[in-house]
């Protein structure tokens, strides 16, 4: 049986808060939904950030919500605290709103933006360790951008400490040449952060409280400000519009596929393959082009998946082949063959060494080991035993217009072609149904059920009706 073991490296950072800013509307998304609720590889943008925080081992996570707060909360797991920023008065104000959560004996506070899904747990851990190792009061997460237009620049002193953050519009010509930009993510000594928050004001054209003012205040007070520059600028790429969303999707998809290939999965054409972040695939499985694997899907070893298949929130055991088919919220056991053009609907359990063939639909049913459902068949709301053979065109008639009813088929039964099994009905062990039968009553063990009209031949009927073809 397939065993799903996923090892994650967890960094132990015991005395650190994480505050994630997710109150903004995101007008450039042109959406009726909050920006951070949009998905990258099947998961909300904000959830990617939270996952990275948890992977870094941070103790407490606080999400600041505002615009459509209930919708943002709904798309996030239950392992965070929420604080409401009822008016969006700037990033500094957002952190002020969360201040009650971050001053309870916690040494450090990490402030992150909720629209940066590509940030990794490893980077966050290294960021905090850099801050602690260098005994800084505040540290800014930065990177070099080839085109830094529009971003705040990091101006450093000769000793590589941070002199200031200068916004693009306020930058001199020399400062505009600086490629190192402010990501909007910071690590603070919590007590220093709280003191600085008490000093910020909104004396600016926008009437907002800026978190960058905290850095200016700390620098003025003689505190040490550092910058931790990461090599990969895509990690701090924020999502502001649909184009950037598509770019983040591409980067995340590449990460996922690359990680799978490193761990022994063959992906024939990465450009045409979509696999979400929480999916797990075992070694020596081959994924063919145009395949989609979504949700918490687990696929075993030595499988063949695709081409043109979609698997959602399902468990697929070792040595399974799924070809040109759809599997939704179901389980497929080892050495089973599915497809082509099969449709396995939710709450189905397909046994070992089973054949689910072309144009077969399985709905909320259990299919026993060794059973063959080879083609053009519908099995719904059924319990099917071991080593059953379904002839072509079989239908379990499970719906009477009002209620769904169950069909039970015993081990080693043989269901003839074009059989209608009108539920509720039971076919016993080793029983047979004759081709073309409509079965409405129980078929005992070892019996043959024949339920069809006797054939009548009317001689000369074509000629009498004038229907003879010329």
CATH number at residue 373: 2.160.10.10
Distance CA 272, CA 61 (A): 36
Active-site residue among 93, 131, 337, 375?
A: 375
Instruction: Tell me the pLDDT tens digit for each residue of 212-240.
Output: 999 999 999 999 999 999 999 999 999 99
Is residue 7 over pLDDT 50? no
Q: Are residues 415 and 316 in the same domain?
A: yes
Q: Are residues 214 and 305 in the same domain?
A: no
Q: Are residues 157 and 306 in the same domain?
A: no
Please give the pLDDT value at position 176.
Answer: 93
Overall number of domains in the chain:
2
Q: Are residues 276 and 393 in the same domain?
A: yes
Q: Are residues 228 and 262 in the same domain?
A: no
- Enter the tokens of residue 102: 């971050």
Under a CB-based contact definition with an 8 Å cutoff, are residues 37 and 45 in contact?
yes
168 in catalytic set:
no
Strands 153-156 and 372-380: unpaired
Please give the pLDDT value at position 229.
Answer: 97
Q: What stretch of H or E contains 127?
A: helix 121-133
What's the Rg (C-alpha) of the chain?
Answer: 31
Query: pLDDT band at residue 330, thresholds of 50, 70 and 90?
Result: very high
Instruction: Tell me the pLDDT tens digit for each residue of 354-383.
Output: 999 999 999 999 999 999 999 999 999 999
Q: What mean pLDDT comes out for the span 420-439?
A: 97
Burial grade of 146 (CB within 10 A; 0-12, 13-18, 19 or more): exposed
Q: Are residues 268 and 294 in the same domain?
A: yes
Q: Are residues 255 and 217 in the same domain?
A: no
Distance CA 89, CA 395 (A): 62
Instruction: Tell me the pLDDT tens digit for each residue of 28-57.
Output: 999 999 999 999 999 999 999 999 999 998
Distance CA 94, CA 332 (A): 48
Q: Are residues 277 and 217 in the same domain?
A: no
**Which pTM was predicted?**
0.89
Please give the pLDDT value at position 5.
Answer: 37
Q: Are residues 291 and 154 in the same domain?
A: no
Q: Is residue 5 part of a domain?
A: no
Q: Is residue 468 part of a domain?
A: no
Beta bridge partners of 140: 186, 227
Under a CB-based contact definition with an 8 Å cutoff, are residues 382 and 399 in contact?
no
Is residue 206 over pLDDT 50? yes
Provide the domain limits for residue 67. 13-236
Q: Are residues 225 and 262 in the same domain?
A: no
Please give the pLDDT value at position 2.
Answer: 45
């Amino acid at each position: 049986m397939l065993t799903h073991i996923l090892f994650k490296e967890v960094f132990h950072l015991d005395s650190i808060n994480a505050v994630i800013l997710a109150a903004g509307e995101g007008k450039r998304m042109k959406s009726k939904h909050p920006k951070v609720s949009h998905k990258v590889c099947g998961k909300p943008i904000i959830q990617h950030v939270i996952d990275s925080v948890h992977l870094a081992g941070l103790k407490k996570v606080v999400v600041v919500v505002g615009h459509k707060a209930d919708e943002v909360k709904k798309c996030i797991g239950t392992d965070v605290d929420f604080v409401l920023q009822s008016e969006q008065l700037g990033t500094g104000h957002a952190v002020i709103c969360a201040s009650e959560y971050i001053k309870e004996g916690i040494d450090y506070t990490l402030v992150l933006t909720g629209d940066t899904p590509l940030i990794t747990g490893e980077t966050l851990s290294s960021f905090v360790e850099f801050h602690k190792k260098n005994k800084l009061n505040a540290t800014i997460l930065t990177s070099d951008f080839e085109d830094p237009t529009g971003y705040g620049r990091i101006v450093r002193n000769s000793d590589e400490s941070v002199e200031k953050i200068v916004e693009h519009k306020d930058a001199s010509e020399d400062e505009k040449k600086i490629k190192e930009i402010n990501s909007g993510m910071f690590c603070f000594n919590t007590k220093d952060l709280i003191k600085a928050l008490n000093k910020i004001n909104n004396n600016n054209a926008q009437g907002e409280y800026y978190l960058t003012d905290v850095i200016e205040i700390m620098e003025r007070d003689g505190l040490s400000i550092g910058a931790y520059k990461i090599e990969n600028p895509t990690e701090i790429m924020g999502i502001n519009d649909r184009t950037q969303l598509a770019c983040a999707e591409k980067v995340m998809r590449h990460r996922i596929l690359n990680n799978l290939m490193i761990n022994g999965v063959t992906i024939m054409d990465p450009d045409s393959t979509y696999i979400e972040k929480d999916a797990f695939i075992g070694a020596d499985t081959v994924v063919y082009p145009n395949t989609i694997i979504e949700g918490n899907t687990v696929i075993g070893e030595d499988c063949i998946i695709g081409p043109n298949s979609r698997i959602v929130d399902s468990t697929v055991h070792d040595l399974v082949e799924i070809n040109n088919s759809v599997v939704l919220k179901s389980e497929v056991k080892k050495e089973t063959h599915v497809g082509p053009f099969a449709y396995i609907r939710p709450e189905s359990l397909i046994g070992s060494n089973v054949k689910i063939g072309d144009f077969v639909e399985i709905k909320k049913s259990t299919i026993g080991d060794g059973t063959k459902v080879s083609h053009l068949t519908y099995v719904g709301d059924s319990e099917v035993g071991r080593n059953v053979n379904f002839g072509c065109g079989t239908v379990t008639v499970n719906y009477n217009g009002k209620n769904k009813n169950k069909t039970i088929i015993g081990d080693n039964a043989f269901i003839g072609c074009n059989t209608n099994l009108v539920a509720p009905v039971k076919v016993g062990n080793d029983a047979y149904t004759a081709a073309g039968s409509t079965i409405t009553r129980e078929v005992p063990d070892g019996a043959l059920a024949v339920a069809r009209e006797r054939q009548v031949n009317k001689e000369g009927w074509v000629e009498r009706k004038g229907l003879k073809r010329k």
